[in-house]
């Protein structure tokens, strides 16, 4: 007996539909905001914007200088702003015990964990080495983590807008002002969307209070093995909804609570689940539409969105087949279908858990509503592969699209080689410099994944962090490095990664995965901007056709699969074969 | 022309102002709206009985007396359904055991045996009753999992099975809009209703005592 796919399919279609219907108007709006257009929130939010711009010393666009930056200026602003974020986020965690707004009386976060978390949130990874409700005070959650949720996403939007300006420019070094991009995307895009989502989430039961944790009396007291009787349950509360909204929208994914959106206070109902799931893909999808507006050819954005959507649907189908097939060893014990319920919540079941699992690893969100560690092997393996592809199947806010555009350049280049013509993209000749930068940016995270996994698996002390024996233990390590190096942040949660080695190793991966990509992307933007345009000729490969979408998908898959098949074979593939034959470790 | 000095200054100023806007004004504003519009939900959807908070609609509690509806197994420590423990600093957690983990298979086997021994019947056991939830705090079980416990609860409480079913139905939800999520029964609400309608149980011995209200 197998699980009926009908309700799950309807739910998936509804969720993807919500994303695609909203992506177009939202993408158009974002493009207008980033180009300096008027916002409907001008009266409410305009004062904040003007105050911030003045404080940062950004000239008005109408001024002669305009505040526009070269690619080097833009990149140094990104790096300096991220450095400031790193310091502030680290410091707040270390001193939270003397700050107000800490009703649970939590102590300072350990230095290595605080550094890991600071890198994690600044790089939009939001890997959770810590457990929220037992580690972070209300003040830390708000001041440090909530803020970084916003600004790390805004940095992604900014870098993406700068790349689009580079492509659109002709003989100009001006990529726009990072500070203006940061402020306008935060104030006019991220804040209003998050506020709206947060309020709807509260109505569903997501907690939002500064009051202390609540003690309730158990209806049936519980007797422990040693005979002690417990009569109360302590319920952790806090300003959760405000943070969860931007956590979902900003492809951040760092949960307010330890189990992220599997926690009933973080994701209480199927409706909250729909909104949180759709929010994962909303901005990455919308930015594809923005890109079309920026380069004055909407079809270019739709082509990239189509390639991403095809890859997502393939992954979703694979994960669903694996999960609905379930765990034969449990069926043999007399467990009814769906057998793969370990680590899943009743209100979501297998379909909504698989849907979220595919969305969150396709986008570099990394939040979860079920424990990926307990997924069936192929489902967990596909989640890993989605991250290993470089977080370009939707990916992070901004970062997914600029990552995918690197693959577009590779595709244009490969196609150009095949027919013996100079590659062009959007009226720009693609030269050796762009290709070198694209290769550097695409290969670095993959190298971090494979080298990190190899080192951690071969050291006895670090391999012991994986609690599951056999191939699943290897998968836990591979998943951790795939997640960190590609700035996803989800985990096979059983891994005990809150140790100095793991905090440092994964911290390094997150850092490289973010900035080793951003700098080459901006260099490409600068280089393309300086070039003049060339008129498309009969020999130019159109980049908006189904043929090109197919080529792009093939390039993404070939690069990713060639790099990672050997590693995946040792983990998920071996484990699935054992699952089929009833083998255990 | 900008200098590094201008850039450093802008970075510090921008981070400070962003922290005020996104880290104070925004969450405080949402908190205010939440307190005004949805105070019950914002504070954890607490359930009160006789003026005492006895749980949250959204957070599962541990039940193992035969007169109560049992919920999902929980992998939290040190006790099941620990949402927060200030001493051990533990909270929500899944088991994180992989599907080929020998310990997981053995544990599920024990749960199946225990369930079947207590008037559970020999048919396949609904999986939600023998697998740990993702959060360790899952407030729900499947309707099939609830139905399989009706005979046991009715026998212990000396009530008609139809009466127990009627109580279950009051706390059963279907898929939202017919497509979202899964059908489910709220375990804590059912048990509070069982105590109210059929008389409270005294402790874990499964014997009903007369209700005070």
B124, B103: one domain: yes
B75, B158: one domain: yes
Say yes or no to pLDDT of A524 above 90. yes
Give yes or no for a contact between B120 and B148, defined as CB atoms under 8 angstroms apart: yes
Residue B213 lies in a domain: no
The 10s digit of each residue's pLDDT in A440-468 is 999 999 999 999 999 999 988 788 888 89
Per the structure, how many domains does chain B have?
A: 2
Q: For residue B45, give every residue at least 6 positions away whose Cβ sits within 8 Å of its Cβ, in sequence order, or none.
A: A205, A268, B56, B57, B58
The mean per-residue pLDDT over the stretch A227-239 comes to 95
Per the structure, how many domains does chain A have?
A: 1
The domain in which residue B184 lies consists of: 45-198
Q: Which of A419, A428, A482, A497 is nearest to A450 (CA)?
A: A482
Looking at the DSSP bridge assignments, the partners of residue B52 are B49
Residue B116 lies in a domain: yes
State how far the Cα of A134 lies from the Cα of B85, in Å rounded to an integer.
8
Q: Which of B96, B98, B175 to mutate to test the interface with A (most CBs of A within 10 A)?
A: B98
Bond into B78 cis (ω within 30): yes
State how far the Cα of B199 lies from the Cα of B210, in Å rounded to an integer.
5
The mean per-residue pLDDT over the stretch A137-150 comes to 95
Partners of residue A150 in chain B, C-beta under 8 Å: 18, 22, 26
Q: Could you tell me where the DSSP H helices lie in B91-182? A: 102-117, 143-147, 150-157, 161-170
B97, B28: one domain: no
**Any chain A CB within 8 A of the CB of B189?**
no
Nearest to A56 among B14, B137, B184 (CB): B14
Residue B124 lies in a domain: yes
Secondary structure (DSSP) of A265-279: TTS-SHHHHHHHHHH
Partners of residue B96 in chain A, C-beta under 8 Å: 343, 371, 373-374, 467-468, 492-494
State how far the Cα of A256 lies from the Cα of A260, in Å rounded to an integer.
6
Residue A66 lies in a domain: no
B32, B57: one domain: no
**pLDDT score recorded for residue A44:** 87
Return the higher-pLDDT residue of B149 and A465: B149
State how far the Cα of B139 lies from the Cα of B156, in Å rounded to an integer.
23
B29, B49: one domain: no
Say yes or no to pLDDT of B208 above 50. no
Average per-residue pLDDT in chain B? 92
**Any chain B CB within 8 A of the CB of A247?**
no
State how far the Cα of A438 lies from the Cα of A420, in Å rounded to an integer.
20
Nearest to A374 among B95, B181, B195 (CB): B95
Tokens 């594809």 appear where? A288
Residue B180 lies in a domain: yes
State how far the Cα of B128 lies from the Cα of A460, in Å rounded to an integer.
36
Give yes or no for a contact between A244 and A142, defined as CB atoms under 8 angstroms apart: no
The 10s digit of each residue's pLDDT in A281-303 is 999 999 999 999 999 999 999 99
State how far the Cα of A583 lies from the Cα of A581, in Å rounded to an integer.
6
Say yes or no to pLDDT of A177 above 70. yes
Give yes or no for a contact between A561 and A573, defined as CB atoms under 8 angstroms apart: no
Residue A242: strand, helix, or coil: helix
The 10s digit of each residue's pLDDT in A399-441 is 999 999 999 999 999 999 888 888 999 999 999 999 999 999 9
State how far the Cα of A547 lies from the Cα of A406, in Å rounded to an integer.
18
Partners of residue A144 in chain B, C-beta under 8 Å: 23
Partners of residue A81 in chain B, C-beta under 8 Å: 10-11, 14-15
The domain in which residue A414 lies consists of: 398-580
Give yes or no for a contact between A430 and A409, defined as CB atoms under 8 angstroms apart: yes
Place B2 in a pLDDT band, splitting at 50, 70 and 90: low
Say yes or no to pLDDT of A378 above 90. yes
**Any chain B CB within 8 A of the CB of A337?**
yes
Residue B187 lies in a domain: yes
Beta-carbon separation of A57 and B124 below 8 A: no
Q: Could you tell me where the DSSP H helices lie in chain B? A: 4-20, 26-37, 39-42, 102-117, 143-147, 150-157, 161-170, 187-198
Q: How far is CA A304 from the centre of its chain?
A: 18
B39, B57: one domain: no
Q: Lowest-confidence range among A2-16, A88-102, A212-226, A342-356? A: A2-16
Residue B54 lies in a domain: yes
B32, B69: one domain: no
**Any chain B CB within 8 A of the CB of A332?**
no
Average per-residue pLDDT in chain A? 94
State how far the Cα of A274 lies from the Cα of B202, in Å rounded to an integer.
41
B88, B125: one domain: yes
**Any chain B CB within 8 A of the CB of A450?**
no
**pLDDT score recorded for residue B201:** 77
B39, B60: one domain: no
Residue B153 lies in a domain: yes
Return the higher-pLDDT residue of A371 and A494: A371
Q: Lowest-confidence range among A173-177, A327-331, A543-547, B2-6? A: B2-6
Looking at the DSSP bridge assignments, the partners of residue B46 are B56
Q: Residue A173 class from Cβ within 10 Å (0-12 exposed, 13-18 middle, 19+ buried)?
A: middle
């Amino acid at each position: 007996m197998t699980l009926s796919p009908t309700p799950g399919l309807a739910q998936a279609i509804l969720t993807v539909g919500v994303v695609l219907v909203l992506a177009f108007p939202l993408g158009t709006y974002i493009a207008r905001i980033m180009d300096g257009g008027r916002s409907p929130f001008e009266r409410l939010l305009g004062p904040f914007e003007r105050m911030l711009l003045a404080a940062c010393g950004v000239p008005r666009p109408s001024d002669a200088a305009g505040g526009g930056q070269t690619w080097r200026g833009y990149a140094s602003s990104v790096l300096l702003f991220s450095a400031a974020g790193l310091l502030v986020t680290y410091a707040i965690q270390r001193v939270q015990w003397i700050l107000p707004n800490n009703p649970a009386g939590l102590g300072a976060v350990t230095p290595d964990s605080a550094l890991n978390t600071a890198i994690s949130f600044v790089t939009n990874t939001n890997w959770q080495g810590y457990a929220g409700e037992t580690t972070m005070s209300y003040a830390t959650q708000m001041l440090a983590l909530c803020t970084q949720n916003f600004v790390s996403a805004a940095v992604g939007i900014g870098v993406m807008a700068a790349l689009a300006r580079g492509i659109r420019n002709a003989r100009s070094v001006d990529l726009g002002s990072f500070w203006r991009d940061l402020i306008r995307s935060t104030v006019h895009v991220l804040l209003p969307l998050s506020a709206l989502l947060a309020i709807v989430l509260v109505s569903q039961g997501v907690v939002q209070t500064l009051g202390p944790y609540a003690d309730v009396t158990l209806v049936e007291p519980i007797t422990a093995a040693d005979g002690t009787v417990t009569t109360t349950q302590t319920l952790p509360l806090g300003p959760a909804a405000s943070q969860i909204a931007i956590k979902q929208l900003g492809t951040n994914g760092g949960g307010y609570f330890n189990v992220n959106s599997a926690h009933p206070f973080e994701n209480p109902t199927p409706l909250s689940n729909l909104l949180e799931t759709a929010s994962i893909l909303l901005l990455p999808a919308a930015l594809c539409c923005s890109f079309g507006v920026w380069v004055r050819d909407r079809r270019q954005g739709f082509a990239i969105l189509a390639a991403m959507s095809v890859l997502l649907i393939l992954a979703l189908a694979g994960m669903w087949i694996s999960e609905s097939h379930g765990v034969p060893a449990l069926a043999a014990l007399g467990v009814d279908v769906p057998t793969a319920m370990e680590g899943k919540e009743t209100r979501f079941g297998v379909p909504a858990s698989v849907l979220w699992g595919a969305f969150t690893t396709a986008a570099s969100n990394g939040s979860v509503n079920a424990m990926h560690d307990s997924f069936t092997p192929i489902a967990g393996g596909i989640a890993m592969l989605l991250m290993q592809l470089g977080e370009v199947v939707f990916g992070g806010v901004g970062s997914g699209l600029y990552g995918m555009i690197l693959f577009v350049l590779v595709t244009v280049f490969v196609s150009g080689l095949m027919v013996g013509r100079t590659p062009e993209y959007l009226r720009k000749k693609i030269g050796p410099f762009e290709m070198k930068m694209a290769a550097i940016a695409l290969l670095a995270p993959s190298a971090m994944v494979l080298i990190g996994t190899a080192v951690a698996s071969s050291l006895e002390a670090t391999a012991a962090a994986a609690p599951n024996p056999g191939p699943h233990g290897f998968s836990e390590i591979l998943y951790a490095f795939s997640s960190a190096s590609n700035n996803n942040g989800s985990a096979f949660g059983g891994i005990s990664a809150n140790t100095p080695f793991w905090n440092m190793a994964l911290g390094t991966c997150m850092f490289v995965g973010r900035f080793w990509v951003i700098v080459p992307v901006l260099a490409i933007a600068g280089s393309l901007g300086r070039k003049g345009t060339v008129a498309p000729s009969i020999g130019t490969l159109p980049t908006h056709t189904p043929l090109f979408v197919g080529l792009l998908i093939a390039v993404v898959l070939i690069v990713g699969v060639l790099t990672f098949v050997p590693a995946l074979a040792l983990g998920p593939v071996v484990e699935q074969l054992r699952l089929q034959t009833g083998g255990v470790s | 022309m900008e200098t590094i000095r201008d850039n450093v200054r802008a970075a510090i100023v921008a981070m400070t102002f962003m922290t005020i806007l996104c880290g104070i004004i925004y969450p405080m504003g949402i908190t205010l709206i939440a307190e005004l519009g949805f105070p019950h939900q914002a504070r954890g959807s607490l359930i009160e009985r006789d003026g005492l908070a006895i749980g949250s609609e959204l957070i599962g509690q541990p039940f193992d007396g035969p007169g109560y509806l049992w919920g999902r197994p929980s992998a939290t420590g040190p006790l099941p359904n620990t949402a927060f423990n200030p001493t051990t600093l533990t909270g929500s957690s899944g088991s994180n055991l992989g599907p080929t983990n020998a310990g997981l298979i053995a544990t599920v086997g024990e749960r199946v045996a225990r369930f079947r021994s207590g008037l559970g019947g020999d048919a396949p056991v609904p999986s939600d009753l023998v697998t740990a939830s993702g959060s360790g705090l899952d407030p729900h079980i499947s309707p099939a999992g609830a139905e399989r416990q009706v005979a046991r609860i009715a026998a212990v409480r000396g009530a008609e099975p139809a009466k127990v079913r009627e109580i279950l139905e009051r706390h059963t939800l279907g898929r939202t809009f017919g497509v979202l999520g899964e059908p489910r029964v709220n375990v804590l609400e059912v048990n509070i209703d069982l105590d109210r309608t059929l008389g409270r149980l005294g402790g874990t011995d499964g014997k009903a005592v007369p209700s005070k209200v």
